[in-house]
Amino acid sequence: MAKSKSKRLKKAVSVPPIPWGGDHGTGTQAAKAGTKLVAVKDSNGKNPNNLGQRKRIIVLDDMLRRGTITMRQHQAGIAIQEAYCRVEMLSSGGPLKEQVQSSPKPDAAVAIQVGANSRLVHVMKPVLQSNRGLIEAVCWHNKPLRSAIRGGFVRGYTRFRETLDVVADHLCY
């Protein structure tokens, strides 16, 4: 009888993975929205200290990684995104306030705002009004394309890719 007890197999116990260390922010729902937790890797590609960091999810990068858009279309989308972010950054007054306080001429601040707006207008010039909602959703507001598509999933992706190609042609990419 003693032998049969010792030969019994033990049940496998699943052990939850050790959570990543490091500062991941406040942990609230608002702080986690639009982000993902990524391992911090060293030069060898390993994570010896089991650290993680919170990174913002950029929809255009995910689309490129999945093969939904080409590198040329990605560059055009990033150009639109950077031009829009520059306008938004200046409207909040962050770096603009620093430049205005250190500049003896207030015209410099106006020139910076005009330059940012001109770049956005230049980049968005070839975008048709019917496709502008797709571009604004993905490139401006960093939302998934499916949230902006109306009237057919495949047709929406095709219109989005064609619009990015037109922008890439316009910017000579």
Return the domain boundaries, the chain. Answer: 13-57, 59-170
Task: Report the C-alpha gap between 158 and 164 in whole angstroms.
Answer: 10
> Does the pLDDT of residue 101 top 80, yes or no?
no
Residue 108 burial by CB count (10 A; 0-12/13-18/19+): exposed, middle or buried? middle
- The pTM for the full model equals 0.74
Segment 35-71, tens digit of pLDDT: 888 888 899 989 888 888 888 999 999 999 999 999 9
What tokens were used for 166?
């037109």
More confident residue, 73 or 25: 73
Segment 154-166, tens digit of pLDDT: 888 999 999 999 9
Across the chain, mean pLDDT equals 85
